[in-house]
Amino acid sequence: MDDNFIKNRLVQLRMDKGVSAQAMSLDIGLSKSYIAAVESGKNLPSMTVFYYICEYLNITPRDFFDSGLAAPEIYRDLMNDIQKLNKEQLENLSNFVKSIIK
């Protein structure tokens, strides 16, 4: 992981959520420029603030560091829904997914 990972990942996830850095800062209960300072590389969040950020983004810390996961919130919701499917439904879903990734 390079020095820019945290700030770049935070920008990506925040933008995916469609919220400004200022709004996110205020919603978490921080100064209005806090998230912008993290995204610019001036600050790193404390562990406590990092957990608040993850909670705000509705992701786990693992999701945050999994840069291969484009939309972690959608992925987690989908996985929760998949667990409710029966075997036939899972097979149908599997076939559908395979057809769209070809």
What confidence score (pLDDT) does residue 70 get? Answer: 81
Give per-residue pLDDT as tens, 10-63.
Answer: 999 999 999 999 999 999 999 999 999 999 999 999 999 999 999 999 999 999
Q: Are 24 and 56 in contact (CB under 8 A)?
A: yes
Domain housing 76: 71-102
What confidence score (pLDDT) does residue 22 get? Answer: 97
Q: What is the rounded CA–CA span in Å between residue 52 and residue 25? A: 10
Question: What's the CATH code of the domain at 7?
Answer: 1.10.260.40
What confidence score (pLDDT) does residue 67 get? Answer: 84
Give this prediction's pTM: 0.77
Same domain membership, residue 64 and residue 75: no
Same domain membership, residue 55 and residue 6: yes
Same domain membership, residue 84 and residue 60: no
Q: How confident is the model at residue 2 (pLDDT cuts 50, 70, 90)?
A: confident
Q: What is the rounded CA–CA span in Å between residue 81 and residue 75? A: 10
